[in-house]
Structure formats: structure tokens, C-alpha cells
Amino acid sequence: MTDKAIDFSSRRKRLSELVLDDSVILLSSSNIKSRNSDSDYPFRQDSNFYYLSGFNEPESIIVIRPSAKKRKYVIFCRDRDPLREQWDGFRSGQDGAKEVHGADEAYSISLIDEIMPELLEGSRNIYYSMSSPNGVNLRLNHWLDHIRANKRQGSEVAENLLSLDSLLDELRLIKTEDELLLMKRAGEITCEAHIRAITNVCPGMYEYQLESEYLHAFMQGGAKFPAYNSIVGGGNNSCILHYNENSSELKDGDLVLVDAGCEYEHYASM
């Protein structure tokens, strides 16, 4: 199943039905995380951000305004940049955010402090994720202060700042048929990985070599990432609850404990 087959707009509509009247919903993407001085970890989008937008790029913020007549769904994202794209890969830019990802309007992320107060002004309630520092909750007070500064000109500031996390948990609790298919495929790929590992394990192999059998099967099945750090522990290592060094040699007669599963299209196998 591709992104195009997932109806992200219906997810946003269902969320909009859960919020109070005169509300704005804000959600921030994940950020790129540095591995060392000149290398980054592979980018992995925030699950809730992807669930609502299908937009798989960092430095992005989505705005959902159910009660608005215009600009109901807005994406702030990076600009197209041929030089950076030559190094880091394709960027959708504002045109892609609208044409491919269904935004009513899209703006450069560099303009967010200028435009966001316009989008928040007049709303009574602002829903945003309070679970961790991100592009929204680190800057929200600044945007609200900007609106307050214009209060004499009739600008209205939101009365309530509300957590989006519990609403998203409720929304995502019951899976759609499309989601169940993705979860089923994640389970199938993981099953294939276990069979491959069982077939190829042998004394003298190192734990990380057995782990590589899983990674191979995951990627061959279409899953780019494991869902979590794999545990492959032989002998005494099998008794370490969160063992992840996976560096010891497997001895003949050892019990080998494996806890591994793939992530397929942002859904983890169980």
C-alpha cells in the first residue's frame, strides 16, 4: 500500500470532529538527528504527524482549522533547494505540499513566525502535542504574544491551550481496514525473518550476524527499519532484559533469545 492509497484527509476530518468549536490543531514533524559530526541518523517521521499528513519531511508543521472558511489545512515546510537536494534528497516544497499532499495553502517554514499568528488569531482553543519539545510547543508562546501585542486592534487570543495527545490516542485506538492490512504485512515480514534466522543460525555465528538475517529479511520484504532495537542474546545474555550489544559468539547448545520485529509503512509488527 502506498501513501496515495491512504486517505489522510479523512483522518484529519475525524480528528476535527473530536475538537471543540473554534479550534486550531497544530502538529510538528520530527527533526533530523545527528549521529556524529558529518552523519545523520536515517530520518523517521513523527508517527502522529505522518498519520495526519503523509508528509515525510523534517522541519515541517501542519495547521488544521476546522471552523475556518479558508486555509483549513496548511503545511509549513522547507523550500525547494537544488543544491541541498543534490546532497540530501528531494524536497516537496510548497507546491508539492499542495498538489501532492492536499494542503489548502503552504508556506516556507522560514515564514512561520510571521504567518502563524494570523492562523491562530480568533481561535478560542489551540490543540497541540505536549509530550516532548518540538517546533510547536517551543514557539507557541511567542506566537500568542504577537497576537496579544495587537489586542488593541481587536485581535483575539485563544482562551484554552489543550493537549492533542489524548485525542490522537483515541482516534488511533480503533484501526481502519487499511491500517489492519499494513499491520498484517508487518507481521508477515517479521514471520519471514524469524524463519530465515532459524534456518541460518549455527554455532560460531555472532549475535550481530544472526541479527543481520533479520535486517536482510525486513528490507527484502519492504520494511526499511526494525520497529525497535533488536535483542539477540545467546547463553547468559538471554537473561538480560534489554540486552542490545548483540556482540557475543553463539556456542553449541546455547539458548538464543530474539526479540525483533519490523516497521512497515510506520506500523510495527507485534
Structural domains for the chain: 3-173 (3.40.350.10), 177-268 (3.90.230.10)
pLDDT at residue number 37: 86
Alpha-helix runs per DSSP H in the chain: 8-16, 47-53, 82-88, 93-99, 112-120, 140-149, 165-173, 177-200, 207-220
pLDDT at residue number 26: 98
Total-model pTM:
0.92
CA 100 to chain centre: 18
Whether the CA torsion 219, 32, 79, 136 is positive or negative: it is positive
Residue 94 CB partners (closer than 8 Å, separation 6+): 75, 77, 79, 106, 107, 108
pLDDT at residue number 237: 98
pLDDT at residue number 203: 98
Q: Taking each helix axis from N to C terminus, what angle separates 165-173 and 8-16, rounded to the nearest 10 degrees?
A: 120
pLDDT at residue number 3: 59
pLDDT at residue number 157: 86
pLDDT at residue number 220: 98
User: What CA–CA distance (Å, rounded) separates 251 from 209?
Assistant: 13
pLDDT in tens, the chain (270 residues): 555 568 999 999 999 999 999 999 999 999 999 999 889 999 999 999 999 999 999 999 999 999 999 999 999 999 999 999 999 999 999 999 999 999 999 999 999 999 999 999 999 999 999 887 788 988 999 999 989 888 766 678 888 999 999 999 999 999 999 999 999 999 999 999 999 999 999 999 999 999 999 999 999 999 999 999 999 999 999 999 999 999 999 999 999 999 999 999 999 997
pLDDT at residue number 270: 74
CA neighbor of 135 nearest in space, from 89, 77, 88, 93: 77
pLDDT at residue number 5: 61
pLDDT at residue number 154: 67
User: What CA–CA distance (Å, rounded) separates 223 from 23?
Assistant: 37
